[in-house]
Amino acid sequence: MTDRKHCSTMDQALLLYNLQTGQKAELCRCAMQDKKYISGDIRCDFHPRWSRNGDQICFDAIEPVNGTRQLHIAYVKGL
């Protein structure tokens, strides 16, 4: 799992790779709304991390409604 910034569109994507099959899945794509979230002191990197049982990934992202940094969860069981 990793994240990727798309600076041209100001989006950030959460990616899941299967190293055995070579398949890639984009789990989510978040609009960063403003350049200040891409770089600088208040930038928001996803910092994705697995849950202990391996069926969830939590990551930091900007909440689109109010522009605050929040913890998000992607449920990946069965992917």
**Burial call 10-24: b when 16+ CB within 10 Å, e when fewer:** ebbbbbbeeeeeeee
Q: In whole angstroms, how far apart are CA 46 and each of 21, 22, 35?
A: 25, 23, 15
pLDDT at 48: 92
* pLDDT tens by residue, 10-61: 788 889 988 899 999 988 887 766 665 666 666 677 889 999 999 999 998 8
How far is the C-alpha of 13 from the C-alpha of 31, rounded, in Å?
Answer: 9
7, pLDDT greater than 70: no
Q: Is residue 69 helix, strand or coil?
A: strand
Average pLDDT over residues 65-78: 82
CA 54 to chain centre: 16
How far is the C-alpha of 75 from the C-alpha of 44, rounded, in Å?
Answer: 21
pLDDT at 68: 77
